[in-house]
Amino acid sequence: MATITKTSPLAPAGGFPSLPAINGVEFAAVEAGVRYQGRKDVMLARIAAGSSVAGVFTRSSTRAAPVLDCQSKLGRVSDQTKGFAFLVNSGNANAFTGKNGQQAVEATTSSVSRTLGIPSDHVYSASTGVIGEPLPAERIVAVMEALFAELDPENIEGAAHAIMTTDTFPKGSSREIEIDGQPVKISGIAKGSGMIAPDMATMLVYIFTDGQIGTAQLQELVSGLNDRTFNCITVDSDTSTSDTLLVAATGKSGVAVDENEAFSQALHEVMLDLAHQVVRDGEGATKFVEVKVSGASTDKDAHKVALAIANSPLVKTAIAGEDPNWGRIVMAVGKSGAEADRDRLTIRFGDILVAENGWVSPGYKEEDAAAYMKQEELLIGTDLGLGDGAATVWTCDLTHGYIEINADYRS
């Protein structure tokens, strides 16, 4: 297996951020030796009784056993007096492992259930790593007491490290807001950079808040924000079998955040920040690209066009080559399947007007665009000139680094 040691050039400056502890949530991370040696590879989060939990999962029809298990449990609260737990291991995805996969999930989640004294349907697990190999559940069960002993409200950074596979940096984000003069906090962690290096997969996101909100309301909020954040990023168009986003609200701040605009905005920012960090850790990425589409007939059409541009290998390689190759943008718009009229199309690189009315703009100078493409952060703007539909998607370039990570090493 390839070991990626060099941190992405797009990693946020300053390293892992200082995330505020969330009242009602504790973290532990230990080494279980699931696959990796010499690093922590299992994390446990304990969440207080009375919390709400919401989640969004991969839509893959070949999704992994822990995902199916989470989906069957989500929204259920079998005992109001008991808390919840998130258990995650890296190194093995427990995906495409048949009946064995389900048994492994039962073994690890029931071990958490016994150790923490909570119902097993309050335990949400996830696994990330190799597909198709049986998960050595006994190694995770063997460290359960050690995890229990380590639980600490300040240890979210350890958790962020334990869930990494070939990520080149741990990902965290937080916001603190005031509602009616009272503080509410949100802290989240994520891992992933697409379907990562040999056999590695999965984007995992865990977000915690001390805001007070019901389960159904939290789920509605999270699902809506997910469509504007994690569903708007793409590294290589490949969908993991294990993608999981879980949000827990402990309510310990005593502040009701249901339908609160400031809270919803803050949660949006945390989700978007984590989503951007996943793109910034995209395999082989050297450019962070925002693709903004406006003027589409519908928002759905705008999203289609944005994804067609962001997923086009020819657009992504042009960006890698710092080539203002706007003909490839025209091509991607054309193939998207969305309603488009060649002669109403406007294309911009940053503030540079490249093309309008079906042809290159009279004032366009290739050298200006070529200079712009040398930046590390790029904006590709496309207006279809048809209606009010708009969408934004974030992606990275396609480089030799991607081929090296995915083709040059054998699993």
Residue 207's identity, in one-letter code, is I
Query: H helices within 143-260, ranges in order?
Result: 144-150, 156-162, 215-228
Spatial contact of 140 and 104, defined as CB atoms under 8 Å apart: no
Least Å from the CB of residue 120 to a copy of itself: 23
Polymer length in residues for the chain: 411
- Smallest gap from Cβ 410 to a copy of itself, in A, equals 5
Residue in 202, 382, 392, 399 annotated catalytic: 202
Report, in this order, helix, strand and coil percent for the chain, each rounded to 5: 35, 25, 40
Pick the closer one to a copy of itself by CB: 123 or 200. 200
Distance CA 285, CA 277 (A): 12
Please state, in angstroms and rounded to a whole number, the distance separating the CA atoms of residues 363 and 357: 13
- Kindly state the smallest distance separating residue 328's Cβ from a copy of itself, in Å: 7
Residue 240 to residue 195: CA distance in whole angstroms: 6
Dihedral sign for Cα atoms in the order 110, 112, 115, 117: negative
Judged by DSSP in three states, 226 sits in: helix
- Pick 6 or 59: Cβ nearer a copy of itself: 59
**Is 202 among the catalytic positions?**
yes
The smaller minimum CB distance to a copy of itself, of residues 219 and 286, is found at 286
Give the shortest CB-29-to-a copy of itself separation in angstroms.
26
Quick check: 239 and 202 in contact, CB under 8 A?
Answer: no
For residues 6 and 374, which CB has a smaller minimum distance to a copy of itself in the complex? 374
Distance from C-alpha of 211 to C-alpha of 261, rounded to nearest angstrom: 13
Q: Which is nearer to a copy of itself, 41 or 283 (CB)?
A: 283
Tell me how far apart the alpha carbons of residues 323 and 216 are, in angstroms, rounded to a whole number.
47
**Shortest Å, Cβ 298 to a copy of itself:** 15
Active-site amino acid positions = 202
